Amino acid sequence: MPSNEPPQLQLELREGAEATPSDALEAVVFRPIHYLGSKLRLASAIADALDSADATRGTVLDLFAGSGTTALALAGHRRVIASDIQEYSRVICSALLASRSADSDIVSTFAARLQAGSPRLDALRQAVEPLVQFERDALHAAKHGETDAICLVLEHGSILAAERGVASGSSELQSRLKEVAKRMKLAGLAGSPLATTVRYFGGAYFSYAQAVELDCLAALAYEAMPSALTDVFTAALLSTASDTVNTVGKQFAQPIRPRNKQGVVKQHLLAKIDRDRHLDVRTKYMTWLQRYALHRTRGTGHVVARADYREALTQFAGQYSVVYADPPYTRDHYSRFYHVLETMARRDNPSIARSPGSSDDELSRGLYRDDRHQSPFCIRSQAPGAFRDLFRLASQTGAQMVVSYSPFQSGAHPRLMQIDALLSLARDFYKSVELESVDGVSHSKLNHSSLNFDMPPEAEVLIVCRLRR
Ligand SMILES: C[S@@+](CC[C@H](N)C(=O)[O-])C[C@H]1O[C@@H](n2cnc3c(N)ncnc32)[C@H](O)[C@@H]1O
C-alpha cells in the first residue's frame, strides 16, 4: 500500500561519518509522491549489483523509473538515463535529476508570479464559485450531523458529467453544477487546460477550491520562463496533489465512498474528508517548491525521457553500459494509481472511461482516462513476450542488465511471471544469469535450489545478467 508517511527530504549526511558510496545513496531521500513499489530502500544493493554486472561504472538506463527515487539514488553513483512511459514520471525525474544553478531563486520568481495574478485565473475562480460555496456549506453542515450534501459532492460532484448532461444527485448540487458548466463555457474554459483539475477531479478527489488552486498553479508552472523551469514547477504541483488528495491511503485509484451499500454514512471517514479538504494547497505548494529549489543533484549529465521501454532501449543504444529494469509484475496497471497525476502533468483533455456495465453512459467512478496505459507486463498473455523483448533488446546493445523481481505483496494479485520462466528467458540472451536476494540491509547470492527451497516468498530478488561469464 502507498505510504502514509509525510514526504521527507534529508540532504545531510550523518554527522561525522565518512562518505561511502552507500552513504551517498542514502543521503538523498526525497519522496516526491506517495508511491507504491519504490525500490529506494534497495538502492544500495541495486548499485552494488550494477557494479558487479558492469565494472566500468558507465551510464545506467533506468527503464521503469516511476517515482524517480531509485534513479535519484543511483545518480550519486553513475550517470543515469531515467525513462518511463508516463509523463508524470518524466516531469518528476526531470525535476530531480536536472542540474540547477544554486543562485536561481525559483521560489521568489514563482511567488511574484502568483502574487501578480491573472484575469484568466480570476475568471476560473469566479466560474467555480457556486460549487466552492456549496462545498463549504456542506462541510460545515457535516460537522453538525447533516452529511448528505458532502456525500453527494464526493459521489455526484463531477463538473465533467454536468458538461455532458449526465449528472445525477441532489437538485441543489445539480443546479450548481449546471451553473458552473454554463459559466465555464461562457468563459471559454470548457475543454481548456486552464481548468483540467477542477473539471476532471474537483469534488471527487479534491475539494473544488483546492482543484481550482491546483489549476492556477499549473497555469503558472506551464507559462514559466525560462521554460526549463516548467518541470520543476509542475513536479512541485504533482507532489502537492499527492499530499492533498482526499482518498484512503493518498492513492488515486478511487475516490472515497462516503456511504456503505445500505446508504449509511461511514462516520470514521468524515473527519478525514474535512481535514483533507481544508488542506491549504498554496502553502503546501510553496513548501514543495522550496524543497525542489534546495535539491542538488549528484553527478552530471543525467537524461530523462518519456518512452516505452523498447523505444528507450533503442533510442539510447550506445549511450548506456548497463540497464536497470523494475517492471510491474502483477495485473495491477500502475497507470490506475497515478492517472490523476498523469492528466495534471499532460493538461490535455482526455475522454473518460465509462462505468463498466452502465447503460446510461455514466463516467467510471475513478474517472480514469480512456487511454490509460495498459502495460504488456500486466497482461498474462503478453508478459512473456514483453520480458523476451527486454532481454533481447538490452543484450543486442551490448549492455549488462540488473532486473528487480518484486515480491508477492499480501492483498496484491499474484505475479504473472514465475522466476524460473524469467531466468530461462534471460539465459536465452545472457551468458551468465545470477540471482541475489536482497532485503534492504543485506544481500546474498542464491543458487537455483536455494531459490526454490530457502527463499521466503516476500524476498526481493535481483537478477544480474552478464553477456560474458
Ligand atoms: C515498479 S514501478 C517502478 C518503480 C521505480 N523503480 C521506483 O523505484 O520508483 C513500474 C513502472 O513501470 C512503468 N511501465 C509500465 N509499463 C511500461 C512500459 N511498457 N514502458 C515503460 N514503462 C512502463 C510504470 O509506469 C511504472 O512507473
pLDDT in tens, 36-50: 888 998 999 999 999
Residue 13 pLDDT level (bands cut at 50, 70, 90)? very low
Instruction: List the grid coordinates of 211.
Output: 482543484
Displacement of CA 116 from its chain's centroid (Å): 30
* pLDDT confidence band for 458 (50 / 70 / 90): low
End-to-end CA distance of the chain: 39
Worst-scoring range by mean pLDDT, 178-182, 231-235, 359-363, 460-464?
359-363
**SS3 assignment, position 331:** coil
Q: Best of 31, 61, 64, 330 to mutate for ligand 1, by most ligand atoms within 8 A of CB?
A: 64
**Model confidence at 131: pLDDT above 70:** yes
Q: What is the DSSP letter of 398?
A: T
CB of 197 sitting under 6 A from ligand 1: no
Helices (H), 187-277: 196-201, 208-222, 230-244, 267-277
Q: Whose CA is nearest to atom 12 of ligand 1?
A: 64
- In the reported structure, the alpha carbon of residue 430 is separated from the centroid of ligand 1 by a whole-number distance in angstroms of 23
Ligand 1 mutation pick, 334, 335, 461, max ligand atoms within 8 A of CB: 334
Mutate which of 63, 67, 85 for ligand 1 pocket (most atoms within 8 A of beta carbon): 85
Mean pLDDT of the chain: 88
Q: Is the Cβ atom of 32 under 6 angstroms away from ligand 1? A: no
Range 394-406 average pLDDT:
96
pTM of the model: 0.91
Among protein residues, the one with the nearest Cα to ligand 1's atom 7 is 38
Cα distance between residue 181 and residue 158, in whole Å: 10
Q: Are 169 and 153 in contact (CB under 8 A)?
A: no
* Number of Cβ within a 10 Å radius of residue 106: 17
Lowest-confidence segment of 275-289, 321-335, 344-358 by average pLDDT:
344-358
Res. 170: pLDDT tops 60: yes
Q: Count of H helices and E strands in the chain?
A: 19, 10
Residue with cell 452502465: 358
pLDDT at 166 over 70: no
Contacts of 141 (CB under 8 A, 6+ apart): 147, 149, 150
Q: For the residues 216-224, what does the mean pLDDT come to?
A: 92
At 35 the pLDDT is 93
Question: Is 330 touching ligand 1 by the criterion CB < 6 Å?
Answer: no
pLDDT surpasses 60 at 259: yes
Q: What is the 64 CA–ligand 1 centroid distance (Å)?
A: 4
Summarize the confidence of residues 231-257 as an average pLDDT.
Answer: 96
Q: Given this model, what pLDDT does residue 268 score?
A: 92
Tally of CB atoms within 10 A around 319? 14
For residue 2, pLDDT beyond 90: no
How many CB atoms are closer than 10 A to CB 32? Answer: 27
Show the cell assigned to 259.
456511504
Phi, psi angle pair for 200, to nearest 5°: -85, -40
Query: Is 80 exceeded by the pLDDT of residue 122?
Result: yes
Cβ(255) – ligand 1 distance below 6 Å? no
**Which protein residue's CA is at the shortest distance from atom 11 of ligand 1?**
64
C-alpha cell at 40: 529506494
- Which ligand 1 atom sits closest to the C-alpha of 376? 19
Region 189-210 average pLDDT: 96
How far apart (Å, rounded) are the C-alpha atoms in residues 222 and 219? 5
Which residue intervals of 55-105 are DSSP H helices?
Answer: 69-74, 87-97
Percentage of the chain modeled with pLDDT above 70: 86
The pLDDT assigned to 338 comes to 96
pLDDT at residue 5 in the model: 31
Q: If you classify domain 9-99+297-333+373-466 with CATH, what class do you get?
A: alpha beta
- Residue of the CA atom closest to atom 16 of ligand 1: 375
- Locate the ligand 1 atom nearest the alpha carbon of residue 86 and give its number: 25
- Model confidence at 408, pLDDT cuts 50, 70, 90, reads low
Average pLDDT over residues 317-324: 98
Residues of each domain in the chain carrying CATH 3.40.50.150: 9-99+297-333+373-466
Q: How many Å apart are CA 363 and CA 467, to the nearest integer?
A: 50
Nearest ligand 1 atom to alpha carbon 68: 9
* For ligand 1, mutation pick of 375, 389, 393, 402 (most atoms within 8 Å of CB): 375
Sign of the CA dihedral running 253, 155, 270, 410: negative
Alpha-carbon distance 124 to 188, whole Å?
10
Residue 446 has pLDDT above 80, yes or no: no
Share of the chain above pLDDT 90, in %: 73
Q: Could you tell me which residues are beta bridge partners of residue 83?
A: 305
Find cell 482526455 and name the residue: 350
Q: 215: phi > 0 → left, psi -120 to 50 → alpha, else beta; which?
A: alpha
Task: Provide Rg for the chain, Cα atoms.
Answer: 23
* Low-confidence winner among 25-39, 190-204, 420-434, 448-462 (lowest mean pLDDT): 448-462
Residues 123-145 have a mean pLDDT of 97
Residue 326 CA to ligand 1 center (angstroms) comes to 7
Higher pLDDT, 13 or 25: 25
Residue 387 alpha carbon to ligand 1 centre in Å: 13
pLDDT of residue 68: 97
Residue nearest to atom 15 of ligand 1 (CA): 375
The strand pairing partners of 229, in sequence order, are none
pLDDT band at 6 (very low <50, low <70, confident <90, very high): very low
Evaluate: CB of 327 within 6 angstroms of ligand 1.
yes
Partners of 383 in beta bridges = none
Give the largest Cα separation in the chain, rounded.
Answer: 72
